[in-house]
């Protein structure tokens, strides 16, 4: 059996160069009534992912959801009251929560992804798989996709910033999630059903007319902003994920280390943790 070593590193990057001088926005959800509604995107196998920066924790809050109590179908990516990300999938009769042990921190950008391949479901935090379970009863349904809330009882309004939401029609591997999570996509990648860059509006400005979240793919799965104030530092278009400090994951094989290139110059300091994985 081939083996690989998983090294988790913390990077402090000083990024220079014109390639980084670009619009980089997000949406701030006020936790009271803000949400985005998107038409139904319900693949039977899927990967969903987002960068999130919650400003309030200690409560259940939905990142994205297609759960329906009427048909007992759909899935949801949310943060539980103990601050741990959870994937919920409904199987027509009951539901399954896929929950790891890694809690996230308020006011810190975190990448959360979840996958389902027809027989198992997994959840990832900053590229690290925190939980995987067998699950072969998922029913996708026909519910619309909501960002920042669930439609069924409980609502679970999200408080904070959401950026870089992606929906795929396949279960992506851990390596694929890691490779793409800090990169911009073209919108033409195979299996990409919807891609929201959130690079719209004016940061903290008067954005009263910017009430549609555009899909960067050709599928035109655009979303409608609901109850956003669209002015000021909350309930508005705000500065998005562009952190100088983040936790990343690389794979080290026996004969080589491959690092992705970056625009401009950088400085990096590494804190390493070793874990043996089989595949």
**One domain for residues 42 and 62:** yes
Contact partners, residue 45, CB within 8 Å, separation at least 6: 116, 117, 118, 169, 170, 171
Here the CATH number for the domain that contains residue 86 is: 2.60.120.200
pLDDT computed for residue 6 by the predictor: 42
Looking at the 3D structure of the chain, how many domains does it have?
Answer: 2
**One domain for residues 199 and 250:** no
pLDDT computed for residue 93 by the predictor: 81
**One domain for residues 107 and 150:** yes
pLDDT computed for residue 152 by the predictor: 74
**One domain for residues 5 and 126:** no
Q: Is the pTM of this model over 0.85?
A: no
**One domain for residues 167 and 57:** yes
**One domain for residues 261 and 184:** no
**One domain for residues 219 and 256:** no
Q: Which residues of 25-55 are buried (b: 16+ CB within 10 A; e: fewer)?
A: bbbbbbbeebbbbbeebbbebbbbbbbbbbe
pLDDT computed for residue 245 by the predictor: 40
pLDDT computed for residue 4 by the predictor: 44
pLDDT computed for residue 85 by the predictor: 98
pLDDT per 10-residue tile (average), the chain, 279 residues: 42 33 84 98 98 98 93 95 97 89 97 98 98 93 96 88 99 98 97 98 98 98 99 98 54 40 37 43
pLDDT computed for residue 265 by the predictor: 34
**One domain for residues 7 and 37:** no
Instruction: Quick: pLDDT tens for 41-95.
Output: 999 999 999 999 999 999 999 999 999 878 889 999 999 999 999 999 998 888 8
pLDDT computed for residue 269 by the predictor: 37
**What is the residue range of 156's domain?**
25-241
**One domain for residues 14 and 49:** no
**One domain for residues 181 and 259:** no
**One domain for residues 81 and 144:** yes
**One domain for residues 41 and 122:** yes
Q: Are 48 and 64 in contact (CB under 8 A)?
A: yes
């Amino acid at each position: 059996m081939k083996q690989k070593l998983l090294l988790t590193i913390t990077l402090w990057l000083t990024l220079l160069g014109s390639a980084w001088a670009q619009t980089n926005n997000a949406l701030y959800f006020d936790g009271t009534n803000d949400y985005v509604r998107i038409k139904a995107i319900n693949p039977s196998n899927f990967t969903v992912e987002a960068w999130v920066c919650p400003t309030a924790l200690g409560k259940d809050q939905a990142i994205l959801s297609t759960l329906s109590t009427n048909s007992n179908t759909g899935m949801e990516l949310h943060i539980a009251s103990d601050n741990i990300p959870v994937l919920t999938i409904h199987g027509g009769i009951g539901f399954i929560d896929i929950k790891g042990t890694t809690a996230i921190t308020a006011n810190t950008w975190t990448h959360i992804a979840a996958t389902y391949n027809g027989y198992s479901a997994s959840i990832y935090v900053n590229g690290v798989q925190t939980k995987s379970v067998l699950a072969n009863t998922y029913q996708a349904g026909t519910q619309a996709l909501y960002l920042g809330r669930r439609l069924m009882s409980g609502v679970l309004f999200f408080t904070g910033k959401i950026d870089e939401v992606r929906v795929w029609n396949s279960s992506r591997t851990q390596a694929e999630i890691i490779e793409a999570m800090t990169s911009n996509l073209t919108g033409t990648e195979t299996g990409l059903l919807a891609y929201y860059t959130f690079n719209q509006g004016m940061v903290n400005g008067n954005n009263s007319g910017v009430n549609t979240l555009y899909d960067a793919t050709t599928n035109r799965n655009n979303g409608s902003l609901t109850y956003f104030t669209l002015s000021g530092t909350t309930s508005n278009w705000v500065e998005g994920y562009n952190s100088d400090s983040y936790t990343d994951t690389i794979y080290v094989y026996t004969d080589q280390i491959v690092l992705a290139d970056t625009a401009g110059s950088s400085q990096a300091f590494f804190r390493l943790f070793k874990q043996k994985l089989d595949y």
